[in-house]
């Protein structure tokens, strides 16, 4: 998952690509919420039986350090123009009015998500809502709920692409994989050392800092309700 705006942008690009060629979506371990939103732009969706997908829902929020700052005796001063101009500041909690405004905005985005699924999967918004509301499904469950088309891996997706493109199943095609595979030298140089482990820990901390920074901005997310590593 990820940014709702980002997911919808990729969805639009996939819709444009479908006008030129078939676009087959192949889901691996996880393709939920924003990942599923993007997948709706494909001509066909194929997932593994154990894929985690669905999670049709949206979320937004922020970190609030108001209580911590009070304990530390730290005060801040802000000058704002507009009642909700600093709604996403980390220095205070949302007011009841701001929570209502944000909830209304999220409801609008959720309805858009429902419409995307409804149109792509030939289901009514009410049917989508019954299996939506942020719930995560396995590939097997998603197939029975009509959220995907078929079960299988990348080979099944390539076969489906050949059929839709009118290419013989026996004909060999070039498979371009991104990102590019690492060479033996790359793997050799990437051998873990104390330094690389230390740098990896720094990257984790940096990632957490980016997460905090992201939630400090007025951003709407389409995320699965847990993280996988």
**Span 18-33, pLDDT tens digits:** 999 999 999 999 999 9
Could you give the CA distance from residue 157 to residue 15 in angstroms, rounded to a whole number?
Answer: 18
Among 67-71, 168-172, 181-185, the least confident range: 181-185
pLDDT of residue 219: 59
Could you give the CA distance from residue 53 to residue 222 in angstroms, rounded to a whole number?
Answer: 12
Residue 101 in domain: yes
Q: Which residue has the tokens 């593994």?
A: 48
**Span 184-229, pLDDT tens digits:** 666 666 655 444 555 555 555 565 556 555 655 565 566 655 444 3
pLDDT of residue 207: 58
pLDDT bin (cut points 50, 70, 90) of residue 163 is: very high
**Span 92-139, pLDDT tens digits:** 889 999 899 989 999 999 999 999 999 999 999 999 999 999 999 999
Structural domain containing residue 180:
2-222
Task: Give the rounded percent of residues in the chain with a pLDDT score beyond 90.
Answer: 48
pLDDT of residue 227: 44
Among 48-62, 159-173, 175-189, 193-207, the least confident range: 193-207
Q: Which residues contact 121 (CB under 8 A, 6 or more apart)?
A: 40, 128, 146, 147
pLDDT of residue 80: 82
Using alpha carbons only, give the angle 151, 156, 159 rounded to the nearest 5 degrees: 140
Query: 156 vs 188, which has greater pLDDT?
Result: 156
pLDDT of residue 1: 73
Q: What is the mean pLDDT of residues 71-99?
A: 86
Domain count, the chain: 1
CATH number of the domain within which 97 lies: 3.90.226.10
Residue 228 in domain: no
Task: Tell me: pLDDT of 47 over 80.
Answer: yes
Among 74-83, 135-144, 163-172, 214-223, the least confident range: 214-223
Q: In Å, how far are 8, 14, 40, 54, 212 from 19, measured between CA atoms?
A: 17, 9, 15, 25, 39
Residue 54 in domain: yes
Sort residue 60 into left (φ over 0), alpha (ψ -120 to 50) or beta: beta
Residue 75 in domain: yes
pLDDT of residue 17: 94
Q: What is the mean pLDDT of residues 74-89?
A: 83
How high is the mean pLDDT of the chain?
Answer: 83
Beta-bridged to residue 3, according to DSSP, are 221
Residue 62 in domain: yes
Q: Which residue has the tokens 């705006």?
A: 5
Query: 215 vs 87, which has greater pLDDT?
Result: 87
Could you give the CA distance from residue 142 to residue 8 in angstroms, rounded to a whole number?
Answer: 21
Active centre residues (catalytic): 33
């Amino acid at each position: 998952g990820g940014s709702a705006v980002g997911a919808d942008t990729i969805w639009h690009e996939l819709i444009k690509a479908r006008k030129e060629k078939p676009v087959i979506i192949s889901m691996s371990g996880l393709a939920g919420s924003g990942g599923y939103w993007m997948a709706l732009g494909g001509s066909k969706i194929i997932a593994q039986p154990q894929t985690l997908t669905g999670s049709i829902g949206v979320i937004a929020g922020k970190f609030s350090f108001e209580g911590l700052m009070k304990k530390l005796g730290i005060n801040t001063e802000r000058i704002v123009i507009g009642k909700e101009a600093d709604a996403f500041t980390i220095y205070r909690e949302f007011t009841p009015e701001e929570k209502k405004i944000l909830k209304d905005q999220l409801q609008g985005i959720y309805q858009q998500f429902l419409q995307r699924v409804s149109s792509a999967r030939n289901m009514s918004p009410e049917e989508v809502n019954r299996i939506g509301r942020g719930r995560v499904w396995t590939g097997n469950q998603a197939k029975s709920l009509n959220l995907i088309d078929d079960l299988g891996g990348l080979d099944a997706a390539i076969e489906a692409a050949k059929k839709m493109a009118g290419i013989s199943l026996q004909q060999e095609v070039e498979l371009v994989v991104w990102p590019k595979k690492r060479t033996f030298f790359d793997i050799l140089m990437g051998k873990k050392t104390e330094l690389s482990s230390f740098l990896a820990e720094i990257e984790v901390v940096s990632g957490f800092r980016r997460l905090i920074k992201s939630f400090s901005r007025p951003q709407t997310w389409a995320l699965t309700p847990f993280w996988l590593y």
